[in-house]
């Protein structure tokens, strides 16, 4: 088995698994229930982890998942005006409406 993906959110890991399922890559989630309630932050050592069952699928899985993470796991950005964390999909700060590209 090879670890191909991990994320603090089980939702993200489950999404990654369904992408691999679509490609008929056999995979399992570990630590599925370790992080408590959905959305709750967990220490990194108990993040849900996605493993492929067959080592030979590792590369194919990583390529497939690089598309998934480009779509939906872009890094959050922190507002230069008020330091709030914003999802990558927001162009302006949810808190103070400052532009993401505000000069520092
Ligand atoms: Zn802000």
Q: Sorting pLDDT into bands at 50, 70 and 90, what band is 24?
A: very high
With a cut of 90, say whether residue 17 has pLDDT above it.
yes
Mean pLDDT along residues 82-88: 86
Q: What is the pLDDT of residue 2?
A: 95
CATH topology of domain 2-72: Alpha-Beta Plaits (3.30.70)
Give me ligand 1 centre to Cα 76, in Å. Answer: 13
What's the confidence (pLDDT) of residue 12?
87
The DSSP secondary-structure symbol of 33 reads T
Provide the residue ranges of all domains of the chain, joining segments of one domain with +: 2-72, 74-104
What distance in angstroms lies between residue 102's CA and the mean position of ligand 1's atoms?
10
Could you identify the residue written with the tokens 């090879």? 2
Q: What is the pLDDT of residues 61-75, one digit of tens each?
A: 998 888 665 555 567
CA pair distance 52, 2, nearest whole angstrom: 5
Has this prediction a pTM greater than 0.85? no
């Amino acid at each position: 088995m090879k670890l191909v993906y991990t994320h603090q959110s089980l939702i993200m890991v489950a999404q990654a698994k369904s992408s691999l399922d679509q490609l008929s890559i056999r995979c399992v989630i570990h630590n599925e229930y370790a992080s408590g309630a959905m959305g709750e932050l967990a220490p990194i050592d108990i993040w849900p982890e996605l493993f492929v069952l067959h080592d030979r699928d590792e590369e194919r899985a990583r390529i497939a998942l690089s598309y998934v993470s480009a779509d939906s796991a872009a890094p959050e950005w922190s507002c230069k005006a008020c330091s709030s964390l914003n999802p990558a999909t927001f162009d302006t700060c949810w808190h103070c409406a400052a532009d993401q590209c505000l000069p520092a």
